[in-house]
């Protein structure tokens, strides 16, 4: 394959973030309150196709802000976000639209993120409906397929979030993210709060899905214990800056930056600002 042109064109990096910064103005009405909050500062990293980068950092370090910027729900103040060879931040809204299918975000708080009125199958079908995919029957078939992929029994299809367990709700959120067959999945504390056996099951599932579909993951967490089970590489975020990038096993054996050492010592840190 090595010399063939299509191989030469295919890039190893699916995601490249260059000098990305995000600050939030603090306002009350028309009044500006002090200096803006600088949530991300000159963030640079890349993720190879089919691999997982774990992004770790204490509470308030900017992880979710980065997740929202990369999921195109928040606009960075400056910087570049290259996805499959295009800088999405330089595109017009209509040009960037197709990328919203290719990049999906899964949150921790599924109880809050899932509509209490929609059944599991309704939740999973919704992105297909919004994207105008197929007729009702084709959408149902695809949604049931996505349920099967994440190991949700068909018996859960008609249940609403409050009639599902935490692990089942997380699978619904995952199936919803997968139903449009994305390439890049951003998992923002997606396993936090689930009990250990459910975390292990979902981790195995994520690893299998990655193998089956060559998915690329950004796995965001402040809990370092699962990182080595999922990540190929780890980036440490501290006060909006990436201070270190290392292999998962080095996280425990050879953390260089004092903040990484501190994160390891405490495992779960609270926002220093709070
Ligand atoms: N919409 C917003 N307006 C103003 N400030 C914000 C906004 N969103 C985030 N911030 C601030 O940006 C900083 C980073 O927040 P962010 O939610 O990205 O942290 P995090 O690393 O995800 O934390 P956690 O682990 O607690 O989820 C915090 O100081 C936060 O208060
Ligand atoms: Mg967060």
* CATH number of the CATH domain containing 16: 3.40.50.300
Assess contact for 184 and 218: CB atoms under 8 A: yes
In a domain, 2, yes or no: no
Closest-CA residue, ligand 1 atom 29, reads 60
Rounded distance from Cα 166 to ligand 2 centre (Å): 19
The per-residue pLDDT for 255 is 82
CB atoms within 10 A of CB 233: 19
pLDDT at 111 over 70: no
Write out residues with Cβ below 6 Å of ligand 1. 24, 37, 39, 57, 59-65, 222, 273
Q: What is the DSSP string of 83-101?
A: ETTEEGGGS-HHHHTTHHH
| Distance (Å) from CA 40 to ligand 1 centroid | 10
pLDDT in tens, 23-53: 998 877 777 777 889 999 999 999 999 999 9
Q: Is residue 123 part of a domain?
A: no
Lookup: tokens for 36: 């803006």
Q: Which residue's alpha carbon is nearest to atom 25 within ligand 1?
A: 59
pTM of the model: 0.89
Least confident of 7-21, 38-52, 161-175: 7-21
- pLDDT the model gives residue 253: 83
| Cα gap 64→145, rounded to integer Å | 29
In a domain, residue 159? The reply is no
Mean pLDDT of 97-106: 93
Query: Ligand 1 centroid to 162 CA: how many Å?
Result: 28
Residue 204 lies in a domain: yes
Domain count within the chain: 1
Q: Which ligand is closest in space to the CA of residue 23? A: 1
Within a 13 Å sphere around the CA of 112, how many CA atoms are in the beta-carbon half?
A: 5
- pLDDT for residue 2: 40
Instruction: Report the alpha-carbon distance of residue 260 to residue 243 in Å, rounded.
Output: 8
**What tens digit of pLDDT does each residue of 255-274 get?**
888 888 888 887 644 433 33
> Atom 7 of ligand 1 has which residue's CA nearest to it?
24
> What is the H or E stretch that residue 56 is in?
strand 52-56
Q: Could you read off the pLDDT of 227-241 as tens digits, one per residue?
A: 988 999 999 999 999
Smallest CA-to-CA distance from 232 within 255, 216, 221 is with 216
Give domain status of residue 256, yes or no: yes
* Ligand 2 centroid from CA 249, angstroms: 24
Q: Which of 21, 26, 65, 66 to mutate to test the pocket of ligand 1 (most atoms within 8 A of CB)?
A: 65
Whose atoms come closest to the Cα of 187: which ligand?
A: 2
Ligand nearest to the CA of residue 63, numbered in listed order? 1
CA of 37 to the centre of ligand 1 (A): 9
Assigned domain for 227 exists: yes
The pLDDT-based confidence of 84 (bands split at 50, 70, 90) is very high
> Residue 40's domain spans which residues?
11-115+181-266
Ligand 1 atom at shortest distance from the alpha carbon of 68: 18
In a domain, 274, yes or no: no
* 127 lies in some domain: no
Determine the pLDDT at residue 110: 64
Which among 110, 27, 104 has a CA at the least distance from the CA of 73? 104
């Amino acid at each position: 394959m090595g010399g063939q042109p299509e191989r030469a064109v295919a890039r190893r990096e699916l995601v490249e973030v260059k000098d990305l910064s995000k600050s939030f103005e603090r306002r009350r009405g028309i009044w500006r309150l002090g200096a803006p909050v600088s949530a991300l500062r000159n963030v640079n990293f890349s993720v190879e196709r089919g691999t997982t980068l774990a992004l770790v950092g204490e509470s308030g370090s900017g992880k979710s802000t980065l997740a929202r910027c990369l999921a195109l729900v928040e606009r960075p103040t400056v910087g570049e976000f290259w996805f499959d060879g295009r800088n999405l931040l330089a595109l017009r809204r209509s040009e960037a639209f197709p990328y919203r299918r290719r990049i999906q975000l899964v949150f921790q708080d599924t109880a809050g993120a899932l509509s209490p009125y929609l059944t599991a199958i309704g939740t999973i079908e919704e992105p297909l409906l919004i994207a105008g995919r197929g007729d009702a029957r084709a959408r149902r078939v695809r949604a049931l397929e996505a349920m099967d992929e994440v190991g949700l029994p068909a018996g859960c299809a008609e249940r609403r979030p409050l009639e599902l367990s935490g692990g089942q709700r997380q699978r619904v959120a995952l199936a919803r993210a997968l139903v449009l067959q994305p390439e890049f999945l951003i998992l923002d504390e997606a396993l936090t709060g689930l009990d250990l056996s459910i975390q292990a099951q979902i981790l195995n599932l994520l690893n299998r899905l990655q193998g089956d579909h060559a998915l690329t993951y950004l796995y965001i967490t402040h809990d370092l214990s699962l990182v080595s089970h999922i990540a190929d590489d780890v980036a440490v975020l501290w006060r909006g800056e990436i201070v270190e990038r290392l292999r998962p096993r080095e996280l425990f054996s050879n953390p260089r930056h004092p903040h990484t050492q501190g994160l390891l010592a405490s495992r779960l840190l609270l926002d220093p600002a709070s």
